[in-house]
Amino acid sequence: METTNAAPMSGRKAQAARNDQTILQAARAVFVADPGAPISAVAERAGVGISALYRRYASKEILLRKLCSDGLKLYIAEAEAALADERDPWTVFADFMRRIVDADTHSLTLSLAGTFTPDEDLFRESAYAEELATRVFERARDAGVLRPGLDVADLSMLFEQIAAIHLGDEERTAQMRHRYLALILDGLRLTSAEALPGPPPTAEEIGRRWIVT
């Protein structure tokens, strides 16, 4: 952890600022790999002491909320980008799905749901994210490029399924996720196929999983 050369990274403040990033990245990586991981594992991965963590986040729960919130912000950003995208509807939709898979925003959703008490802000962000996703979805649906009977809530479920894919290192995992996303996208694009069996999930069903019991 020695830093003796470059100019902009000297100074205690710069060091601390860099730690802000390092710690968040480490936390993400660790909790995605193991949702029940101890806080000490995060510190170890980040290469810092435990107190560097507690200086920033007063508790584990607060750190988890921060991670979730960041994930939602990413999701929102991608959805906004998709809404601003003027290419053909299917391309925009498929690209949105691919970007979300790469952003891996649902690993946290999948594994951390129910492990901490959601925040008021989280609910707000979540609602906004869902609203944007709905607009992205409906644009594709209204353009007639989707299989009939789909619902925007199906996307959440599909993202979670893909987030459940793990194989080897991060790169290989990403590769596998795109392999099966391609399969799913082909299925979603079958405009003349029959609707999928069973009623789609409701927003209420999906949201209920966040309630801590």
Partner DNA sequence: ATAGAACGGAATATTATGTTCCGTGAGCTA
Partner DNA sequence: TAGCTCACGGAACATAATATTCCGTTCTAT
The yes or no reply on residue 176 touching a copy of itself (CB under 8 A) is yes
C-alpha span between 62 and 65 (Å, rounded)? 5
CB of 37 to a copy of itself, least distance (A): 12
Binding status of residue 207 toward a copy of itself by CB under 8 A: no
The smaller minimum CB distance to a copy of itself, of residues 77 and 110, is found at 110
Q: Among 51, 192, 194, 204, which residue interacts with DNA (rule: CB under 7 A)?
A: 51
- Binds 49: which of DNA, a copy of itself, none (CB < 5-8 Å by kind): DNA
In single-letter form, the type of residue at position 151 comes to D
Residues 145/90, Cβ–Cβ less than 8 Å: yes
Distance CA 207, CA 63 (A): 21
Rounded distance between C-alpha atoms, residue 156 and residue 97, angstroms: 10
Tokens of 9: 């990274």
Q: Please tell me the total number of residues recorded for the chain in this structure.
A: 213
User: Using an 8 Å Cβ cutoff, are 154 and 206 in contact?
Assistant: no
Residue from 5, 7, 36, 84 binding DNA (CB under 7 A): 36
Q: Which does 169 bind (CB under 5 to 8 A by kind): DNA, a copy of itself, none?
A: none
Evaluate whether 31 touches 67 at the Cβ level (below 8 Å): yes
In the complex, the smallest distance separating the C-beta of residue 12 from DNA, rounded to whole angstroms, is 4
Q: How far apart are CA 101 and CA 119, in angstroms?
A: 25
Q: How far is the CB of 15 from a copy of itself (least distance, A)?
A: 32
Residues that bind DNA (CB under 7 A): 1, 10-13, 15-16, 19, 36-40, 47-52, 54-56, 58-61
Give the footprint of a copy of itself on this chain (CB under 8 A). 36, 110, 154, 157-158, 160-168, 172, 175-176, 178-180, 182-184, 186-188, 190, 193, 196-201, 205-206, 208-209
